[in-house]
Chain A
């Protein structure tokens, strides 16, 4: 089984709908992250969390919210999806220090029509 699991793998939704993307990890890492990947733009950080009580905005947090339900679970929500949120979303984890390498999930392809 994968160490960092994202669900769903693919999702198609309509503008205005609320969407939740889920991430769970078995690595025992404290730090978790949500990134989005757009063609030609690389990956950009949406939110990150150091532990269940510590949530931080990344460079593109507008339109998104997150919840760290437990050390192992970090979910990303789009309260009212819009077409420019169509992207490939990645969850990642790292050990408890800055500048450590990231371990990525397989990604969720989200399409907002």
Chain B
């Protein structure tokens, strides 16, 4: 069975702090895809990144970076120098090869205070 665990329910930081959101997944598939989505207070989910299981390179996009480690089944998300606009719920998600069934974690609510 596939499963995504986001153990951090809520994180609070002060602006400019770095923060890491954890994501641990379970799957028996050898080919799979991992995603991060952001849900700001407005409610609409916004895609952040997709990573396939054969690409373990870390990725950086501005203040955002992702660390994918198959050895620990983790796909962690770091925000550097956090800003108030980063306040949102962040979801990690997993899909097997060639399937439309996306398994979401329970989300981590990040609050960034000025």
Interface set of A (CB-CB < 8 Å, partner B): 31, 33, 40-45, 48, 50, 56, 58-59, 88, 90, 92, 94, 98-107
Chain A residues whose CB sits within 8 angstroms of the CB of B52 once the complex forms: 99
Q: How far is the CB of A108 from chain B (nearest CB, A)?
A: 10
Nearest opposing residue in chain B for A33, CB measure = B100
Pick the contact of A107: B43, B95, B102 (CB < 8 A): B43
The segment from B55-63, B68-76, B78-86, B103-111 that touches chain A is: B103-111
**9 tightest A-B CB contacts, nearest first:** A42-B104, A104-B45, A101-B47, A43-B104, A42-B106, A99-B33, A98-B98, A106-B44, A107-B43
Q: Are A43 and B91 in contact (CB under 8 A)?
A: yes
Question: Is B99 an interface residue, CB under 8 A from the partner?
Answer: yes
Given the contacts A40-B106, A42-B91, A42-B106, A99 and B99 also touching, CB distance less than 8 Å: yes
Given the contacts A103-B47, A106-B42, A44 and B104 also touching, CB distance less than 8 Å: yes
Q: How far is the CB of A96 from chain B (nearest CB, A)?
A: 11
Question: Is B64 an interface residue, CB under 8 A from the partner?
Answer: no
Question: Is B28 an interface residue, CB under 8 A from the partner?
Answer: no
Interface residues of A, dominant DSSP? strand
B8-43: which residues lie under 8 A (CB-CB) from chain A?
A: 9, 33, 35, 37, 42-43
Chain B residues whose CB sits within 8 angstroms of the CB of A99 once the complex forms: 33, 50, 52, 95, 97-100
Given the contacts A42-B104, A42-B107, A44-B104, A105 and B44 also touching, CB distance less than 8 Å: yes
Given contacts A58-B101, A104-B44, 4 further A-B contacts (CB under 8 A): A42-B4, A43-B102, A104-B37, A106-B44
Q: Are B102 and A88 in contact (CB under 8 A)?
A: no
Nearest opposing residue in chain B for A40, CB measure = B106
Q: How far is the CB of A27 from chain B (nearest CB, A)?
A: 13
A101–B95 Cα distance when bound, in Å, is 11
Pick the contact of A102: B47, B105, B107 (CB < 8 A): B47
